[in-house]
């Protein structure tokens, strides 16, 4: 297993983390069992959002601290996402869902955008195309893979999310060193586990820019469920601890379509209250039965469409 190097935390961050842990020492009682579970300070820290908009085929080595300034098209996508119902999160990624993405020439004036957890990939968008995508996402009824293609005013494809798993890890070191160190090493380990278990055609791990929660790095999002994991945080003891980022466990829960409750921050399309209540239900004395009820996911014969697994 890879060794992790822990960077010393600035005093202000240690103080903030200490306060967060202190204020989260609340006990929730389970009226059925009479037991109580202490709320993990990471739970409920995922900002409420309905969609994750991923700009595809972006080189992580070229990400500045503020990625919105890379092009007017990305800026339009980022600003427009804040006006969507329940909002959306925009990140850049090396995610490569198509054989030939328009921004493979490193131009970000026209972009491919994958929408999670919908599975829609909007292709070759300029600023006008971005507005078209945002208009579609603002509809009360969203399109699906079986909707008539004429309903969408841009070229597009659909990911086979019912058949495959995608794991995103924040590696945005230019935004925060913890994400670069812990995220980069976890991403490398995830890819090694996926390769060793011969899941390359059905599961892939990708780098993503800032998703929020530096002190929880490495931060992980697993689709199609949309669960967020904080794999470090209070698993360490100040600057002397050893961060825990279990690639095997992340791959296991992705395969089984279950949840790693011990590192769960929350999930896409959930409010803070929903996140806390969901975690509490599964950690108040009788929470693991639902997880055990799932059967293991068996990879299908065909793989992730257009994914380069070399």
How many residues belong to the chain?
Answer: 310
Which of 89, 127, 131, 126 has the alpha carbon at shortest distance from 223? 89
pLDDT of residue 188: 94
- Domain boundaries 51-158, corresponding CATH code: 3.40.30
* CATH assignment, 165-292: 3.40.30.10
pLDDT tens, N- to C-terminus, the chain (310 residues): 443 333 343 443 334 434 343 334 333 333 333 344 588 888 999 999 999 999 999 999 999 999 999 999 999 999 999 999 889 999 999 999 855 444 444 568 999 999 999 999 999 999 999 999 999 999 999 999 888 878 899 999 999 998 899 999 999 999 988 899 889 999 999 999 999 999 999 999 999 999 999 888 899 999 999 999 998 644 444 444 444 568 999 999 999 999 999 899 999 999 999 999 999 998 875 334 334 433 444 455 444 544 444 3
In the prediction, which pLDDT does 37 show? 58
What pLDDT is recorded for position 105? 46
Query: Cis omega (within 30 of 0) on the bond before 117?
Result: yes
224, 211 Cβ separation under 8 angstroms: no
Cα separations in angstroms, 204 against 65, 252, 254, 307: 25, 13, 10, 8
Domain ranges within the chain, ordered by starting residue: 51-158, 165-292
pLDDT of residue 214: 85
Amino acid 99: pLDDT: 55
Short-list 201, 191, 195, CA closest to 164: 201
User: Can you give the pLDDT at residue 165?
Assistant: 96
User: Sign of the C-alpha dihedral, residues 32, 249, 160, 46?
Assistant: positive
Q: Kindly report the three-state secondary structure assignment for every residue of 93-135.
A: ECCCCCCCCHHHHCCCCCEEEEEECCCEEEEEECHHHHHHHHH
What is the reported pLDDT for 98?
Answer: 59
Answer yes or no: same fold for 51-158 and 165-292.
yes
Q: Beta partners for 245? A: none
């Amino acid at each position: 297993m890879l060794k992790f190097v822990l960077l010393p935390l600035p005093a202000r961050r240690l103080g903030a983390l200490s306060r967060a842990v202190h204020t989260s020492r609340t006990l929730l009682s389970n009226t059925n069992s009479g037991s109580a579970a202490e709320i993990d300070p990471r739970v409920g820290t995922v900002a409420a959002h309905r969609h994750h908009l991923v700009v595809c085929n972006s080189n992580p080595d070229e990400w500045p601290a503020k990625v919105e300034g890379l092009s007017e098209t990305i800026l339009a996508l980022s600003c427009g996402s804040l006006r969507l119902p329940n909002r959306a999160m925009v990140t850049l990624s090396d995610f490569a869902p198509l054989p030939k993405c328009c921004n493979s020439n490193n131009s970000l004036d026209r972009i491919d955008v994958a929408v999670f957890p919908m599975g829609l990939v909007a292709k070759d968008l300029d600023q006008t195309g971005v507005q078209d995508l945002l208009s579609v996402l603002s509809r009360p009824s969203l399109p699906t893979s079986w909707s008539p293609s004429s309903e969408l005013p841009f070229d597009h494809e659909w990911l086979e999310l019912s058949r495959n798993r995608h794991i995103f890890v924040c590696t945005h070191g230019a935004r925060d060193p913890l994400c670069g160190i812990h995220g980069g090493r976890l991403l490398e380990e995830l890819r090694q586990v996926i390769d060793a278990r011969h899941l390359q055609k059905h599961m892939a791990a990708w780098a993503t820019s800032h998703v929020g929660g530096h002190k929880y790095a490495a931060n992980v999002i697993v689709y199609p469920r949309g669960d967020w994991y904080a794999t470090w945080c209070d698993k360490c003891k100040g600057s002397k601890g050893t961060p825990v980022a279990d690639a095997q466990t992340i791959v296991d829960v992705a395969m089984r379509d279950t949840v790693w409750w011990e590192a769960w921050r929350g999930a896409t399309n959930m409010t803070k209250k929903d996140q806390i209540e969901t975690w509490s239900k599964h950690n108040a004395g009788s929470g693991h039965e639902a997880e055990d009820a799932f059967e293991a996911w068996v990879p299908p014969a065909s793989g992730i469409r257009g994914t380069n697994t070399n």
